[in-house]
Amino acid sequence: MLKSFAKILKPALFSAAAALLVASATSPASAQEVLNLKLGHIQSEQDLWQFGAQKFKEELEARSNGTITLTIYPNSTLGGDRDLVEGMQMGTVDFGLIAGVLGNFAPSIQLLELPYLFKSQEEFNKVIQGPIGEEIAANVLKNANVRILDWWERGSREVTSNKPINGIEDLKGLKIRVPEIPAMVTTWRAIGANPTPMAWSEVYTGLEQHVIEAQENPIPFIYGGRINEVQKYLAMTDHKYEYVTLTMSELRWNQLTPEQQKIVVEAAAAATKAENEAVRTQTAEMLKKMVDGGMQVTHPDTAPIAAAAVGAHEAFATKVDSDLYNRILKELGR
């Protein structure tokens, strides 16, 4: 009786095991096969950075058939810009949306942070989309061990303040928050302001508590950060044509297969296209909403401001990379 039962049981167990093997071979990738990646940035979920990051996530996951997933951490959840770069260097963060703070790790990129170096978005794009941009990206990779996948547009930087700004005299002594970027500190000091480096996560509270009197950023950043709630005036200074890099940990990049690297590059390109289009189409709408909410816009005479800023460029470039600075000027026909 027992022997007979065993004869029946063994084929049944074998069939079940075989079925399990077949199912696992033909089913979607298991949890062990899925690559889970992290992207951090300092802005809110309402900002266009989050829109671009979400697009990157969608493209990564679709192009990899779900074998690559991306979790997005906005609002400085993984730290400020410097923390994100250091996280990518250590391999604890895979992707970051990083702007000028990269200059603290790779000095040459600081030249892009000089206010009034570029007179239009087209001038800026001409430089970063060409050989100079490739050289800067290579310098970042070499010195910071992070890889620039692409450059996202952000629009021009403007100034918000507690008082109307109509000219350079209104900037004298103004305690203005700037990013932790030496080029910005140097140039705003040359303009006559009192630049105060501060992490973005502290800016809203700093303005609300009058620790600082002003700040400067692109319209989408101002809108996404709700700066219009704590500042009444917006001066259209157009002092800098802004970017953010979609950047990746080189440690993580080197762990990817060639096929995975190809997916990352293609997803980054698709996200960049969507982000840039959103900036171009939505900036005016965001400005209108802030104006409708009570923000007052001024159009200061920027010629004296620009002259003061440009006067500080060469001395700063000498400390960073004079040759690269002069090649940028040549590329711009100056």
Which residue range(s) make up the domain with 234? 35-331
Query: What tens digit of pLDDT does each residue of 114-171 get?
Result: 999 999 999 999 999 999 999 999 999 999 999 999 999 999 999 999 999 999 999 9
User: Is 314 a residue whose pLDDT tops 90?
Assistant: yes
Residue 117 within any structural domain of the chain: yes
Is 30 domain-assigned? no
The answer to whether position 12 is within a domain reads no
Structural domain contains residue 140: yes
Per the rule left: phi > 0, alpha: psi between -120 and 50, beta: everything else, 275 is alpha
133 located within any domain: yes
Strand partners, 82: none
In sequence order, the 6+-apart residues with CB closer than 8 A to the CB of 101 are 80, 81, 82, 85, 179, 180, 181
170 inside domain: yes
Residue 129 lies in a domain: yes
Query: Which CATH number goes with the domain that contains 209?
Result: 3.40.190.170
Contacts 24+ apart (CB under 8 A), 310-313: 310/116, 310/117, 311/190, 312/186, 312/187, 312/189, 312/190, 313/114, 313/117, 313/187
- As for how many domains the chain has, the answer is 1
pLDDT tens digits along 184-239: 999 999 999 999 999 888 999 999 999 999 999 999 989 989 999 999 999 999 99
In a domain, 4, yes or no: no
CA–CA distances in Å: residue 249 to residues 23, 41, 94, 95: 36, 14, 5, 6
